[in-house]
Amino acid sequence: MEQDGGESGAASQRSPTRDGGGCAPGRKIPADGEVISGQATVDQSTITGESMPVEAAAGSRVFAATIASLGSLRVRVSRVGVDTTFGRVIKMVEEAEAQRADVQRIADKFSAWYLPVVTVIAALTFLIRRDPLATAAVLVVACSCSFALATPIAMLASVGAGARRGLLIKGGKYLETLAQANVLLIDKTGTLTLGRPRIERITPLGAFSSEQVLSLAAAAEHDSEHPLAEAVRQARRLQNAPALPSESFQAIPGLGVQAQVNGQKVRVGSLRMFQSEPFFADLQAHSSPASQQGKTELFVVCADQPAGVLTAEDTLRSEVPAALEQIRGMGIRQIELLTGDNQQTAAALAGALGIAYRANLLPEDKIAIVKAYQQQGSIVVMVGDGVNDAPALAQANVGIAMGAAGSDVAIEAAHIALMRDDWALVPEVFQIARRTMGVVKANLLFTMVYNVVGLSLAATGILPPILAAAAQSLPDIGILGNSARLLRTKK
């Protein structure tokens, strides 16, 4: 089952081995997991909507319902069936279909009223005109179901089209809210930046060596899922600094981490994490102007002794400026960067993008800012990576999670999850929301006009019952046709 090379179709007949599932060329990967060995090109478009296949090799994560070709993989399965990312997407889309948007509720109320109104019009027609045929035509031509259909059909089309593009929209109501949004809040690490920072400088302090600083920091970061933690662990591997065991790991959201390494308390985090420590001034003195260039400094403290400073650099996602420009063009003027990083780093980045910023924020500060905007009557969209932004994403009127494939928190907390890390999807989802609401309004208007004209013609005897019956399906056909436009996804 190792390395099949080539596209040998015969390999697809082999059965999985005991210790790991096998994925042979040209077959759908049956479960989520991590590649143990082998190499293949994986078409992940079912999950991410991205048609460019990705290379998978040992250590890569693969997802159920994606297709491996040009090689074979040996995969350690982590999730099967409904628990896989694909399974969750299906469940969420099903739930989304059951969600009712506000416009839908209004339409439902309206259709409940509509029936008695039609009955009254029919009764009046009979009383005034004494014409049973016209009365019958009134009853036949009235089409209340199209009011009920106008919204859900459009929403359904958009949710479905979105899922194919790698946009998981958890309910039509979020499209409705998104179309009215006026504030966009953006998280930094992993959202505006690639979230793959690299440690580019190590400044040891006191009696510590660079190697020791890396070993200690990487041990403390061993269990953290933060992108900065991965950067520290990677730096240790690259520099071949010894790996140390750690225990009692604790993450301090928005500040850093701490753990016991060789029996000593090691802390790694922002300057702010050590605000109330006696050695704070000492650390501050070692903070360099690096942060003015948009870099992030991590301070390493071992047993209350400053041990070193790690300078991390992350790259801005290249699609961000164009995406923000498009969003601004749609009339969303208030765009703000919210970050737990320091003032200078935030200022450098926000300045380059021409947006406002707030720095030194803890996760709860982000929630408070979202709430403050909402209290002013703003409709807030928040874009985050879901790692520690989940509460703010959930608080926002619409929370959008980046790169949600494989991330449980992001898929759960966000209202809209982008299954691939691509900022171009953000303006796209704004556009989908606007187009959807446009179609909903057109559907409702069409139904309204049809009913008014139809009822008038029927009541006056111009429209005979047979034609009225035929005309009755007109609004449904119109609504279906109009809504189907939303199924067309632009490439």
| Contact string 385-424 vs ligand ADP (x = CB under 6 A) | ---x------------------------------------
Considering only 23, 138, 205, 298, the residue that binds ligand ADP (CB under 6 A) is: 298
Q: Is 341 a catalytic residue?
A: no
Q: How far is the CB of 338 from ligand ADP (least distance, A)?
A: 6
Long-range interactions of 228-235: CB distance < 8 A, separation 24+: 228/189, 228/197, 228/296, 228/298, 228/312, 229/257, 230/196, 231/196, 231/197, 231/198, 231/199, 231/312, 232/199, 232/268, 232/298, 232/310, 234/198, 234/199, 235/198, 235/199, 235/202, 235/310
Residue 269 interacting with ligand ADP (CB under 6 A):
yes
Residue 207 has φ and ψ, to the nearest 5°, of -90, 5
CA distance 30 to 51: 19
DSSP assignment, residue 336? E
Which of 4, 32, 187, 314 is catalytic? The answer is 187
Residue 268 interacting with ligand ADP (CB under 6 A):
yes
- Which CB sits closer to Mg ion, 101 or 298? 298
Residue 188 interacting with ligand ADP (CB under 6 A):
yes
- Indicate which of ligand ADP, Mg ion, none lies near residue 153 (CB less than 5 to 8 Å, by partner kind): none
HEC assignment per residue over 261-297: ECCEEEEEECHHHHCCCCCHHHHHHCCCHHHHHCCEE
Taking CB under 6 A as the binding criterion, the range among 6-14, 90-98, 184-192, 206-214 that sits at the site for ligand ADP is: 184-192
Q: How far is the CB of 489 from ligand ADP (least distance, A)?
A: 31
Count Cβ atoms within 10 A of the Cβ of residue 224 and give its class: 0-12 exposed, 13-18 middle, 19 or more buried.
buried
Considering only 11, 229, 244, 300, the residue that binds ligand ADP (CB under 6 A) is: 229
Element (H, E) at 202: strand 198-204
Choose among 169, 182, 228: nearest CA to 387.
228
Residue 226 interacting with ligand ADP (CB under 6 A):
yes
Q: What type of residue sits at position 53? A: P
CA distance 73 to 16: 11
- Indicate which of ligand ADP, Mg ion, none lies near residue 256 (CB less than 5 to 8 Å, by partner kind): ligand ADP
Choose among 44, 45, 49, 46: nearest CA to 60.
44
- Which CB sits closer to ligand ADP, 144 or 388? 388
Element (H, E) at 257: strand 256-261
State the number of CA atoms in the 13 A half-sphere of 171 facing the CB. Answer: 16
- Which CB sits closer to ligand ADP, 246 or 447? 246
- Which CB sits closer to Mg ion, 22 or 190? 190
Per the listing, tokens 């005979």 go with: 464
Considering only 270, 407, 436, 451, the residue that binds ligand ADP (CB under 6 A) is: 270
Q: How far is the CB of 192 from Mg ion (least distance, A)?
A: 9
Residue 32 interacting with ligand ADP (CB under 6 A):
no
- Indicate which of ligand ADP, Mg ion, none lies near residue 217 (CB less than 5 to 8 Å, by partner kind): none
CA distance 458 to 76: 68
Q: Give the tokens for residue 194.
A: 């690639």
Residue 406 has φ and ψ, to the nearest 5°, of 85, -10
C-alpha separations of 142 from 138, 322, 468, 479 in Å: 6, 48, 8, 15
Q: Please check whether residue 269 is in contact with residue 261, taking contact to mean a CB–CB distance below 8 angstroms.
A: no
Q: What type of residue sits at position 82? A: V
- Which CB sits closer to ligand ADP, 87 or 253? 253
- Which CB sits closer to Mg ion, 176 or 314? 314
Q: How far is the CB of 89 from ligand ADP (least distance, A)?
A: 25
Residue 295 interacting with ligand ADP (CB under 6 A):
no
| Contact string 335-354 vs ligand ADP (x = CB under 6 A) | ----xxx-------------
- Indicate which of Mg ion, ligand ADP, none lies near residue 458 (CB less than 5 to 8 Å, by partner kind): none
Q: How far is the CB of 271 from ligand ADP (least distance, A)?
A: 8
Residue 323 interacting with ligand ADP (CB under 6 A):
no
Number of residues that bind ligand ADP (CB under 6 A): 21
Taking CB under 6 A as the binding criterion, the range among 32-40, 114-122, 252-260, 450-458 that sits at the site for ligand ADP is: 252-260
Q: How far is the CB of 385 from Mg ion (least distance, A)?
A: 5
Considering only 162, 204, 256, 399, the residue that binds ligand ADP (CB under 6 A) is: 256
Interacting residues toward Mg ion by CB under 5 A: 187, 189-190, 385
Q: What type of residue sits at position 424? A: A
Three-class SS state of 224: coil
Residues with catalytic roles: 187
Instruction: Report the interface residues with ligand ADP, using CB under 6 A.
Output: 187-189, 221, 224, 226, 228-229, 254-257, 268-270, 296, 298, 339-341, 388
